[in-house]
């Protein structure tokens, strides 16, 4: 059995929690919402067994990492600075960075701004889009939603979504995970929220827990969020307009290092990002592979752990 160890490091003037396994070239994995280092539980031991130093971090606002108190403390520029600080603290040469969900934009933007620190970058679920556009993201989402609220706009008001989720953390997480997973056939579209309603109104629940999300796994996530709360995780969404402003100077800029993309056939961000994926010949000129996993939903490295691991190892081995 591969041992997973835990420590905290100082990064960008805050505390970041790391879960680590193995020795060798470092692979830094960054989770999304509502996740934690634990989302990489199927990758940590496999990468370690194959000769890599596998590291999964808790993003600021999550788990044992610091939880700043201001919404603007969760803007993308600071997330990238956190990653840079983690790479410095690990001090193991160039790193390959991998991100899922919100972790994917963190990984993409880290590679964009600091290509000198990374051997390669892999994004799961959320394609690299090279930014830009003349309309603020929240305005664009409002136009997409029509008479409803897009879930990102639903999360904008501080306290509203927190109250909804924290009334029953375990049930909310289960509904959100199941609703965005590939097991749900023709389920409700949980990306759209009834104006004045709650996201959880559309949740459906499994009759039997899937193999990729056991009761034990759900208990781990529940404990993590009952400890950390949801202000920090939700505040990532509350910075999309700030990020649009902060990164305006980099709009259209390609990522210059080797890259990998893994999406899910049933995954919302992958489907919405079809035009970005089609433009990879310009935005990811050193793309190793872009693969859409049949039947997979949003939780790619958990739902399709075996294939995700195969693709990551193929990519990592190509960087040697």
Contact 257, 120 (CB under 8 A): yes
Helix (H) or strand (E) holding 257, with range, is none
Cα–Cα distance list, 80 to 110, 157, 272 (Å): 5, 24, 24
Residue corresponding to tokens 């034990």: 216
User: Which pair of structure tokens corresponds to residue 279?
Assistant: 């433009």
To the query of whether residue 298 is one of the catalytic residues in this protein, the response is yes
Helix (H) or strand (E) holding 172, with range, is helix 169-180
Nearest to 34 by CA among 9, 62, 67: 62
Contact 44, 26 (CB under 8 A): no
**How distant is the alpha carbon of residue 307 from its chain centre?**
18
* 3-state secondary structure at position 126: coil
* 3-state secondary structure at position 129: coil
Which of 58, 82, 101, 149 does the annotation list as catalytic? 101
Residue corresponding to tokens 């075996």: 306
To the query of whether residue 100 is one of the catalytic residues in this protein, the response is no
SS3 content of the chain, % helix, strand, coil (to 5): 45, 15, 40
Which of 17, 100, 154, 298 does the annotation list as catalytic? 298
* Residue numbers annotated as active site: 101, 298
């Amino acid at each position: 059995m591969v041992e997973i160890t835990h420590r905290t490091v100082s990064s960008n003037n805050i505390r970041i929690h790391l879960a680590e396994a193995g020795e060798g070239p470092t692979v830094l994995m960054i989770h999304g919402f509502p996740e934690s280092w634990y989302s990489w539980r199927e990758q940590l031991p496999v990468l370690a067994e194959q000769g890599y130093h596998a590291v999964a971090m808790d993003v600021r606002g999550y788990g044992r990492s610091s939880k700043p108190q201001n919404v603007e403390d969760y803007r993308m520029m600071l997330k990238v600075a956190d990653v840079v600080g983690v790479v410095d603290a690990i001090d193991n040469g160039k790193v390959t960075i991998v991100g899922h969900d919100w972790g994917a934009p963190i990984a993409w933007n880290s590679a964009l701004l600091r290509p000198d620190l990374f051997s390669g970058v892999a994004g799961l679920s959320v394609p690299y889009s090279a930014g830009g556009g003349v309309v603020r993201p929240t305005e664009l989402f409002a136009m997409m939603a029509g008479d409803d609220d897009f879930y990102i706009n639903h999360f904008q008001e501080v306290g509203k979504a927190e109250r909804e989720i924290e009334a029953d953390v375990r049930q909310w997480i289960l509904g959100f995970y199941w609703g965005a997973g590939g097991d749900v056939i023709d389920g409700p579209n949980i990306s759209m929220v009834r104006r004045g309603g709650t996201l959880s109104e559309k949740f459906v629940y499994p009759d039997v827990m899937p193999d990729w999300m056991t009761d034990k796994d759900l208990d781990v996530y529940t404990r993590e969020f009952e400890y950390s709360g949801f202000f920090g995780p939700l505040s990532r969404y509350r910075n999309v307009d700030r990020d649009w402003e902060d990164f305006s100077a980099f709009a259209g800029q390609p990522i210059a290092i080797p890259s990998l993309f893994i999406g899910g056939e049933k995954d919302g961000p992958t489907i919405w990002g079809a035009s970005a994926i089609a433009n990879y010949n310009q935005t990811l000129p050193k793309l190793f592979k872009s693969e859409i996993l049949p039947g997979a939903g949003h939780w790619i490295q958990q739902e399709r752990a075996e294939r995700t691991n195969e693709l990551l190892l193929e990519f990592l081995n190509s960087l040697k």
